Structure 1
Amino acid sequence: MATTTVSDRQAGWRTPFVIVVCGCLIGLLSFGPRSVVGMFLMPISVENGWTRDVLSLTIAIQNLMWGVGQPFAGAIADRFGTLKVFWAGTIMYAAGLACMALPLPPLAMHVLSGSLVGLGLAGVSFNLVLACFTKLLPEAKRPMALGLGTAASSFGQFVFAPLTPFLIDLLGWQGALLVFSAVVGLIFPLSLALATNPKAGIGTGTGTEASVVATMKAALGHRSYVYLVLGFFTCGFQLAFITTHYPPYLADLKMPAWVAGLALAFIGLFNIVGSLSAGWLSGRMSKRWLLVWIYFARGAVVVMLLVLPPSPALALAFAAMMGLLWLSTVPPTSGLVALMFGTRYMAMLYGFVFFSHQVGGFLGVWLGGVLYERTGSYDIVWWLSVLFCVGSALINIPIKEEPVRRPDLVPAE
């Protein structure tokens, strides 16, 4: 079977090391600003005289549009190469962050910032980076590279979480957003290392290449893939809800502002360990069972937060434990997609899985704001996340870890 990894089609400076380093830096720069949007919820709402559900809807739309755009960004990258997608995504992401700093009415904020940030993230986030890793790196290097790419995104949260309150104090929240907009521009040069050949990942097999439509139809008709898509909903629900509403949740408990900043930093720091461990384990144990235990553990950690007496120590302990589980679902999930369908349409197929993740993210952020305004508490959403964790754990159990057997879908490795 023919391969198109970096070992036989890359030359000069684009070595596997350079590809992984540049991809990790892109993940850091793209995920960092997105991970701290919760810190802007209160200052923007107070400045504009909004209740929490207004900006929550903008952030929810960002998550949804990220999910909607990801399969299309993946399909375009698979068809025409990744470079154009990275550059278009960088422009939209930077513009969307800048729009958040403008004195816009709610509808304009929803449309401009919600759409631009979301679609921009679809073109520059770690999802596309991981798809590039599966195409450009030899199979033996992929599991750890996927873990490194995911961990680097978490390191972005670790860096931006303490940096954000400092910049807000120094420059104001508008100035902080404009700095983030400028920093995103660094993705332009870094993306050169991840440029892919549109035909990368095509295997020889029967000599035919599955079309985009045939591939997507086969995937949606494959029960294990559908289970994977549905299970990933919970990951997005929890991550987006916690990222956006955990800082104000802690503020409601009368905790100092530094607790929220340190908590988000803890999530990012401990997620580095969790993501690397998940990447390592994905190459050595059943990926579906790894996902099962991760989802069960997530639910248990949330229950711990809700039943124990609140304190700064508990807030930070929760952040550390949730950090270990934060993006640890990504390496086994992306690994299962590559195992089932190969690498040819990896960006598109994983993009569709991620769409489910972002539908969950939209609901997590939006319901958090709406239910808080109606009940004065986040408790309903916390317990919903526990319920979803149990459901995702159970739905991953029947997944079959094997390639799809079709003459027109030949997994390329």
Structure 2
Amino acid sequence: MTDLVLPRGSCRRPPSLGLHRSWMVAGATVLALLAAAVAMGAPSLLILPLGREYGWDVATVTSALSVRLAAFGVTSLLASAALNAWGVRRVACAGLALTGTGIFASLAMTQTWHLVLLWGVLVGAGSGLTSLVLGTAIAGRWFEARRGLVVGLFGAAASAGQMLLLPGLAAATDVLGWRAGILMPCGLLAVAAVAAMARMPERPEDVGLLPYGSRDPRPATTSLPTRPSTWRILADISGSALFWALLGAFAVCGATTSGLVQTHLVPFCADLGIRPLQASGFLAGMGLLTVIGSVGAGWLSDRFDAGWLLFWFYGVRGLSLVCLPFTDLSFAGLSLFAAVYGLDWIATVPPTARLVLARFGPERTPLVFGFMLAAHQAGAAAAAYAAALARIDLGSYLPSFLAAGALCLLAAAAILPLAARRDMPL
């Protein structure tokens, strides 16, 4: 059954006769985030096939992937302004179109600059537009209740989703070749674009509805509310200590997940005599547990204080990293570490989004999250490089794990008192 819509200007809350339209919008957003994440991760599976066909070495291919990460970070910063100027539907479709164009056009590439342009610039920029910046904007506009759960679903789609779907893509590539393999993310991107066009209005008021769970019957007028400029938002948030604490914490989040563990867990296990196949199984298990952890963290964020949740999530992550070198580093011990880390991997995203929405407001949240995603990528890049240097100079990854654990504990201690304050300048 469909929602009853309110006439323009009506203040009466519509009765619910079925699934609220907000959940359809959330479903379309999950599909968009999932499609972009799969397309973002797919090129990493094609390094060896491209090397065999074109004679490109690993450094040549990975240079394009580095450009992709940089383009993702830059575009995430610009996504907030794009959302205000173009709206969520146009931004989502533009991001999916850029990503799909980059993937599909690579079927005909023959030169290395084609690779950099298509997989680096287009795929990176398109994925940046279709990131958690978009997801937090949707959560802020369409949900008053269950925001934490919704952001948890978005985080699971953006991060864990690609871990779960990329093995199937890898199998298709092995059997049918890399060209047939990349048609799969192209098809997923096309389906996501159609869903965004059909199920992603700009705001609930545009279709005569209230946000899900709203108890404030606001009028659905034809005029849009005045939105603060990007520069005004920057001026507002730059004076907030909470903003800087969350920015630093997200850099630590990136450093300790994709920067350290995702990049270096397999070689770390190799140093311990664990075969790559078994080590990759740790990462696969983390992918499944990340979905559970992200959705569970979203559920908790709707019921408990976000500051305390962040304190515990960063604290548990830090303790697991600090304690790891003092265990026997057996296969069973590493399996337990992988289980804890998988549940905690994206758990910090829902309470962070919940806290940002509550303190900075829905209009400022996309820009704030854009900066946070950029900090996340910067932290990941710095940690990946620093851990490699530590392994070369010190002959061990253990100092890197200890340093990462200390950073998590510092982030936990920094966020809690600031999150508890209510005298924010915004």
Q: Which residue does the alignment assign to 2:6? A: none
Letter in 1 for 2:184: V
Letter in 2 for 1:353: M
User: Are the aligned partners of 1:251 and 1:257 in contact in 2 as well (CA < 8 Å)?
Assistant: yes
RMSD of aligned C-alpha atoms? 3.9
Partners of 2:50 and 2:413 in 1: CA distance: 40
Letter in 2 for 1:240: S
1:234 aligns with 2:273: no
Deviations, residues 38-59 of structure 1 (Å, cap 9, x unaligned) = 65566667875646x6655544
Q: Which residue does the alignment assign to 2:377? A: 358
Q: Which residue does the alignment assign to 1:113? A: 119
User: Are the aligned partners of 1:278 and 1:332 in contact in 2 as well (CA < 8 Å)?
Assistant: yes
Runs of 5+ unmatched residues, structure 1: none
- Stretch of structure 1 that moved more, 264-273 or 304-313: 304-313
Letter in 2 for 1:18: M
1:322 aligns with 2:341: yes
Percent identity of the aligned residues?
26
Letter in 2 for 1:85: V
Letter in 2 for 1:301: S
The match for 2:151 among 135, 146, 149 is 146
Are the structure 2 counterparts of residues 256 and 290 from structure 1 closer, same or farther at C-alpha, using a change threshold of 3 Å?
Answer: same
User: Are the aligned partners of 2:43 and 2:119 in contact in 1 as well (CA < 8 Å)?
Assistant: no
Partners of 1:391 and 1:109 in 2: CA distance: 40
User: Are the aligned partners of 1:268 and 1:323 in contact in 2 as well (CA < 8 Å)?
Assistant: yes
1:348 aligns with 2:367: yes
1:104 CA displacement: 4.8
Give the secondary-structure state (helix, strand or coil) at the position aligned to 1:285: coil
- Stretch of structure 1 that moved more, 395-404 or 285-294: 395-404
1:268 aligns with 2:287: yes
Runs of 5+ unmatched residues, structure 2: 1-8, 212-217, 220-224
Deviations, residues 383-412 of structure 1 (Å, cap 9, x unaligned) = 443343233223213323567766xx6xxx
Letter in 2 for 1:298: R
User: Are the aligned partners of 1:237 and 1:364 in contact in 2 as well (CA < 8 Å)?
Assistant: yes
The match for 2:171 among 132, 145, 166 is 166
Are the structure 2 counterparts of residues 49 and 246 from structure 1 closer, same or farther at C-alpha, using a change threshold of 3 Å?
Answer: farther
- Stretch of structure 1 that moved more, 390-399 or 378-387: 378-387
Partners of 1:187 and 1:376 in 2: CA distance: 46
Deviations, residues 169-198 of structure 1 (Å, cap 9, x unaligned) = 223455434433443332201223233149
Are the structure 2 counterparts of residues 273 and 134 from structure 1 closer, same or farther at C-alpha, using a change threshold of 3 Å?
Answer: same
Q: Which residue does the alignment assign to 1:186? A: 191
TM-score w.r.t. structure 1 length?
A: 0.80
Deviations, residues 55-77 of structure 1 (Å, cap 9, x unaligned) = 55544443332222112112211
Partners of 2:335 and 2:10 in 1: CA distance: 44
1:214 CA displacement: 1.1
Superposition pairs for residues 99-138 of structure 1, below 5 Å? 104-105=111-112, 109-110=115-116, 112-137=118-143
Letter in 2 for 1:281: L
1:304 CA displacement: 4.7
Larger Rg: 2
Q: How many equivalent pairs are there? A: 398
Are the structure 2 counterparts of residues 371 and 115 from structure 1 closer, same or farther at C-alpha, using a change threshold of 3 Å?
Answer: farther
Are the structure 2 counterparts of residues 79 and 293 from structure 1 closer, same or farther at C-alpha, using a change threshold of 3 Å?
Answer: same
1:290 aligns with 2:296: no
- Stretch of structure 1 that moved more, 139-148 or 311-320: 311-320
Superposition pairs for residues 393-412 of structure 1, below 5 Å? 393-401=412-420
1:132 CA displacement: 0.7
Partners of 1:54 and 1:378 in 2: CA distance: 26
The match for 1:157 among 149, 162, 184 is 162
Letter in 2 for 1:285: F
Q: Which residue does the alignment assign to 2:411? A: 392
Superposition pairs for residues 52-67 of structure 1, below 5 Å? 58-67=64-73
Partners of 1:343 and 1:79 in 2: CA distance: 15
TM-score w.r.t. structure 2 length?
A: 0.77
- Stretch of structure 1 that moved more, 322-331 or 190-199: 190-199
Are the structure 2 counterparts of residues 161 and 85 from structure 1 closer, same or farther at C-alpha, using a change threshold of 3 Å?
Answer: same
User: Are the aligned partners of 1:294 and 1:328 in contact in 2 as well (CA < 8 Å)?
Assistant: yes
